[in-house]
Structure 1
């Protein structure tokens, strides 16, 4: 039940976020490892079983754990929950973001598509946007930056969704409301606009929190690629080489940018 256990979980299950977290100062890095491990556990919950009821129970387990943390009573012991208590309480992180992130993952349990564009956007906002806001606020960002962080996280999450769509469709999950190339291109264009606009508002964010924003270091290039050629999404053409990914991340880290 340690930070090291969380770091190992993230390194194995979410290597891109692990790399970005390693660019943070040690204290901030530890908070990121805990939050990313939490996110990984939530994201996995709907996929570890084919039984919808069991998946629902797994997500409810996490909702109950979060409730225990915020109500101040005895909190269950768990390799991620236990260090999460300290991260939440020391940084006064808002409960609603945790609840929304967990509840949004219920969509992953079932095979029904999102009902409309608003539902799709809410899913990205509550998952990627919420995680971005929590991560940045746990590393020095003020609560007043929450709206911009959510928007930035939306752009990052949209780019990640585009990269994941081939695998999701193979698993009979169809997140895009409209999969035509014109609609996909417009979605990417809107995501890039949100990412850029939010980035302007986050220029003066605390330096340790910039590592949280660097978790989306590939988003700009992915969204630009989709705008230029939306067919790349369905063709699984958004894969980036490990060398180019690491080079870009190191470049941003040395300049303390995101």
Structure 2
């Protein structure tokens, strides 16, 4: 892979998605640049909503990436460092359905209204994360099916729910709410109050319920053995578990929940790698 495109992907991840950047360091040297390219692509589409001033521009940005993948598969990548890194990583051979699913899932980010129910939130969590995990496994030499595919679904949902809970104030500042409206209504809250960042014990109760679901999914994912070669793809769950525990201790109050320290992350990842479990 060309040094400039690989360096760009690594630098972008280190600034904007440091947990995935860190876990990719546990992948074999030969696979690491491809993982960084994959994660940098995910970062590009995941930030679509926050980098545009109106929804139509976000849809155009996502369509640009669909066409970019057409070029990668045709052997004519666009002059964009992430596209060039993907092409050099052999991404033309990756599962096209998983790539398309990731892009399509980000259309939901351009809608300001929250999901109606926990079930709808779980669908979103799965759609935005499970295909990424499957693609990461492909990079590491394993095409997921059967039990592994189901494990990745649980893992993806757990990871995404944890990230959503951590990002409640950030999303609100963007004009977005991902806490289900039915759950908020059950606590006597309108979702517009979350937009105004009026977070009180009622909001924390909703977040705790979602956190319990994330914990349940994490336990289900961890009960199943995974091939050793795909462990680096699942190591982000190790860090997510730390974040979830931190939020539980803070009563799911975002203002009281400090970030997990780098030494704790490093120690947890080393221990997970030694045990060969995420």
Q: Contact 1:124–1:158 (CA<8 Å) still a contact in 2?
A: yes
- Determine whether 1:115 maps to 2:135: no
TM-score (norm 2): 0.80
- Determine whether 1:197 maps to 2:220: yes
- Determine whether 1:250 maps to 2:270: yes
Aligned ranges for residues 1-258 of structure 1 at < 5 Å? Answer: 2-70=5-73, 72=74, 74-85=76-87, 86-89=89-92, 92-144=93-145, 145-177=148-180, 178-179=183-184, 180-201=203-224, 203-207=225-229, 209-226=230-247, 231-235=251-255, 237=257, 239-258=259-278
TM-score (norm 1): 0.86
Unpaired segments ≥5 residues, structure 2: 185-202
Unpaired segments ≥5 residues, structure 1: none
Q: Equivalents in 2 of 1:81, 1:20: separation in Å?
A: 22
Structure exhibiting the larger radius of gyration computed from Cα positions: 2
Q: Equivalents in 2 of 1:204, 1:105: separation in Å?
A: 28
Give the 3 Å change call, closer, same or farther, for CA 225–16 of structure 1 in structure 2: closer
Q: Contact 1:189–1:223 (CA<8 Å) still a contact in 2?
A: no
Q: Equivalents in 2 of 1:125, 1:101: separation in Å?
A: 10
Aligned length: 252
Cα RMSD, aligned residues only = 2.4
Partner of 2:112, secondary structure, is coil
> Which has the bigger relative contact order, CA under 8 A and spacing at least 6?
1
Instruction: Tell me the CA shift for residue 4 of structure 1.
Output: 2.4
Q: Contact 1:166–1:234 (CA<8 Å) still a contact in 2?
A: yes
